[in-house]
Amino acid sequence: MSLHLGDEVPNFQATTTIGQLDFYEYLGDSWGVLFSHPADYTPVCTTELGRTALLQDEFAKRNVKVLAVSVDPVDKHHGWVNDINETQNCDVQFPIIADEDRKVATLYDMIHPNASATATVRSLFIIGPDKKLKLSITYPASTGRNFFEVIRVIDSLQLTANYSVATPANWEEGQDVIVVPAISTEDAIKKFPKGVNVVKPYLRYTPQPNK
C-alpha cells in the first residue's frame, strides 16, 4: 500500500528486541517515529541507530517513541545492538523490529523494486498521537539520515498542531513563525499578543507563541 500524509497508519504486531509488540499499544498517546534499515550490520545504519540512541532524551522530552525496522531476525538484532553501543558510544533502548517476513516493510511500502527487490529503503515516518501520518522521508541506502532534522520537524509539527502558525524555511525552535493565511491580520493581532510583523498581506511573522 502507499501511505499519504493524513492517512491513518496501519497497526501491526511484531517481534522486537524488547519482546512482542503491538504498534498502536506501544505508541499509546505518544508521537512515533518508525524508520527502516536495509539489513543488520550495515555501516550507515549502525551510525543512524547510534545517533538515534544518543538523542533518546530529546525524543522523550517531545513525547516521541522510536522504533526501527530491519528484515533480519531478532537474535541478529541483539548482536548488532552490541556493536552499535560499542562503536557509537551509546545505549540503544528503543525496539528494533524483526521483520523477516517483510510484513511491516510491505504495509508501509518500504520496498522499492527499482532500488532493490528485497531490501527496505531508508524510509522514516512521523506519526501523531491520532495514529495519522504527519511526515515521511525516504533516503537511498547510501545516504544517512539527519536526525537533528527529524527533531526539528517534530518541533514544527507539534507547534503547528496546536497554534495557527506555520514554520518558515530553516526554522528552528525559538525563532519567529508565520501566521497561517486563514487568519486575517486583524484577528492575528488579537490572537498573537507578542506582535505581528506584516511583510506582505500573505506573509506575516510572529514570535513563537509557546515560548
Q: How many CA atoms lie within 13 A of 62 on its CB side?
A: 24
d(CA 113, CA 161): 35
Q: Which domains does the chain have, with CATH numbers?
A: 13-144 (3.40.30.10), 163-206 (3.30.1020.10)
88 φ, ψ (degrees, to nearest 5) = -105, 5
**Looking up cell 518500504, which residue turns up?**
110
pLDDT value of position 117: 44
pTM, rounded to two decimals: 0.91
Confidence of residue 109 (pLDDT cuts 50, 70, 90): confident
**SS (HEC) of 128-157:** CCCCEEEEEEEECCCCCCCHHHHHHHHHHH
Q: Which residues does the annotation mark as catalytic?
A: 45
Q: Which three cell numbers stand for residue 143?
A: 545516504
d(CA 202, CA 211): 24
Q: Which three cell numbers stand for residue 150?
A: 527529524
Q: Quick: pLDDT tens for 194-203.
A: 999 999 999 9
d(CA 81, CA 74): 10
Angle at 98 between CA 95 and CA 100, to 5 degrees: 165
- pLDDT value at 115 more than 50: no
pLDDT value of position 143: 87
- What H or E segment, with its residue span, contains residue 124? strand 122-127
Closest CA to 62 of 167, 147, 186: 147
Q: Quick: pLDDT tens for 124-181.
A: 999 999 999 999 998 887 888 999 999 999 999 999 999 999 999 999 999 999 999 9
Amino acid letter for position 210: N
**SS (HEC) of 41-98:** CCHHHHHHHHHHHHCHHHHHHCCEEEEEEECCCHHHHHHHHHHHHHHHCCCCCCCEEE
* Cβ contact 97:67 at 8 Å: yes
Please state at what angle helix 43-54 crosses helix 74-88, rounded to 10 degrees. 70
**For the chain, how many residues are written?**
211
**Paired sense of beta strands 177-179 and 165-166, if any:** antiparallel
Q: Quick: pLDDT tens for 57-95.
A: 999 999 999 999 998 899 999 999 999 999 999 999 999
